[in-house]
Amino acid sequence: MSALAKLVRYQWDRTLAAGLVVGGLAAVIVAWALASGTVLTFEQIPYLMSGGLIGVCLVAVGATLWLSADLRDEWRKLDRLERAVLGTGPEIDASDAATARVTAAAPGRPVHAAAES
């Protein structure tokens, strides 16, 4: 499986969000281009209603979908940390790249002092 296909498979919500935003911006640009060719306001209203509003709605849905994907990632991280702190999940060992730099503080020594040494 190619790297792009794997990225699309695992990040489907962000891929869909990016597609919706690009489609919405394209709809707004096309509506503007078509409406700019007319002088009378009543001829511009159909372009505004069809392309402009649909485009803005697509951008809003895409942005919301992207935000929900980010929030879901944050909740996963918080759940993993909670399981590690409470001891109900798998232990985090020193081979984990994210926690390998963290060192334990000696008793009575501030945590930030252990991180600086």
Residue spans per domain, the chain: 3-90
Contact criterion met (CB below 8 Å) for 1 and 13: no
Contacts of the segment 60-67: beta carbons below 8 A, 24+ positions apart: 60/24, 61/20, 61/24, 62/16, 62/17, 62/18, 62/19, 62/20, 62/21, 62/23, 62/24, 63/17, 63/21, 65/13, 65/14, 65/16, 65/17, 65/20, 66/13, 66/14, 66/17, 66/18, 66/21
pLDDT of residue 18: 95
Asked if the model's pLDDT at residue 114 lies above 50, the reply is no
Asked if the model's pLDDT at residue 67 lies above 80, the reply is yes
d(CA 79, CA 8) in angstroms, rounded, equals 24
pLDDT digit string, tens, across residues 70-109: 999 999 999 999 888 888 866 656 565 555 555 555 555 5
pLDDT of residue 104: 53
Q: Which of 3-17, 42-56, 57-71, 102-116 has the highest mean pLDDT?
A: 57-71
pLDDT digit string, tens, across residues 29-60: 999 998 888 888 888 888 888 888 999 999 99
Task: Name the percent of the chain lying above pLDDT 90.
Answer: 39
> What H or E segment, with its residue span, contains residue 6?
helix 3-10
* Per-state percent for the chain, helix, strand, coil, to nearest 5: 75, 0, 25
pLDDT of residue 54: 94
Judge if pTM exceeds 0.85: no
